[in-house]
Amino acid sequence: MFESALDFDEVSIHLGGREILSPTSFSVKPGEFVCVIGPSGCGKTTLLRAAAGFVTPSGGQVSRKGQAIMGPSREVAFVFQDYGRALLPWRTVQANVSLALEAAQVPAAQRQARIARVLETVGLSAHAGKFPAQLSGGMQQRVQIARCLAQEPALMMMDEPFGALDAMTRESLQDELARLVREQGLTVMFVTHDLEEAIYLGDRVIALRANPTAGEPSLAAMLDVPLPQPRNQLTTKEHPEFLRLRRELYQYLGHH
């Protein structure tokens, strides 16, 4: 039987007496890369937090492999935009990655090898002994991603992870992420407010509407991205299908 990695079944979320997410349903398949876009304040972070079990829905259910999610789990890793706050400044790169292993109570004897492996995966082997302040923003974000990989999660939740980086660094991290997600068979939900980033990385894009009102669902659109893999910063973005999707999503997002 086919199992989905994540299911949202009529999930609604109220916070502070307001409806942040109106009933929303979708499924994420194992190995799928799903991007979530929408204007600031539309509930992207809230949706991701619900998927990770940090927020309990007011209605409906979030489940993973058919099991309702009752709270945070080590199976789900969360990458925050603000790498500066996600990393401990007094710990070296390897000691920051080690946090995930300490939390999972991985025996000390096994930690070094796992840390070395994930640092190699994100290209930071040469910087294992440095402190976050000695690294560029892009490298710090790689450390956070390495820490998530060390957790060996089934699902990766990424909340605008490249939003604070310059354009060149962002593009190289997009390509690195796409490669390692494919290599490791990870399932990803990736929030961004950048349309092109969503199409470039996603197998599918979910667009949320700003300010859902009664009767208007949060989910504005769900589009498959049938662009060939591996993607390429030049050719993918010149592909007629890329331009068509960009135009369609642009319209859904309310730039009428």
Ligand X SMILES: Nc1ncnc2c1ncn2[C@@H]1O[C@H](COP(=O)(O)OP(=O)(O)O)[C@@H](O)[C@H]1O
Least distance in angstroms from the C-beta of 45 to Mg ion? 3
Q: Which does 218 bind (CB under 5 to 8 A by kind): ligand X, Mg ion, none?
A: none
- Are the CB atoms for 203 and 224 separated by under 8 Å? yes
Residue with token string 């710090």: 140
* Binding map of Mg ion across residues 2-41, x = CB under 5 A, - = no contact: ----------------------------------------
81 near Mg ion, rule: CB under 5 A: no
Choice between 38 and 57, CB closer to ligand X = 38
Instruction: Using the rule CB under 6 A, give the single segment among 34-42, 115-123, 135-143, 221-229 that binds ligand X.
Output: 34-42
**Among residues 45 and 144, whose Cβ is nearest to ligand X?**
45
Report strand pairing: 204-208 vs 33-37: parallel
Task: Give the span between the Cα atoms of 61 and 127, in whole angstroms.
Answer: 42
Among 5, 20, 69, 249, contact with ligand X (rule: CB under 6 A)? 20
Q: What does the alpha-carbon distance between residue 36 and residue 43 come to, in Å, rounded to a whole number?
A: 10
For 112, residues 6+ apart whose C-beta sits below 8 A from its C-beta are: none
Q: What's the distance, Cα to Cα, between the start and end of the chain in Å?
A: 43
State yes or no: residue 45 binds Mg ion (CB under 5 A): yes
Which range of residues in 38-46, 59-67, 102-110, 195-203 is near ligand X by CB under 6 A? 38-46
Strands 204-208 and 59-64: unpaired
Give the number of other Cβ atoms within 10 Å of residue 182's Cβ. Answer: 13
Q: For residues 77 and 139, which CB has a smaller minimum distance to Mg ion in the complex?
A: 77
Q: Tell me the number of residues near Mg ion by CB under 5 A.
A: 2
* Binding status of residue 16 toward ligand X by CB under 6 A: yes
Nearest to 51 by CA among 190, 146, 176, 148: 190
* Residues of this chain that bind ligand X (CB under 6 A): 15-16, 20, 38, 40-46
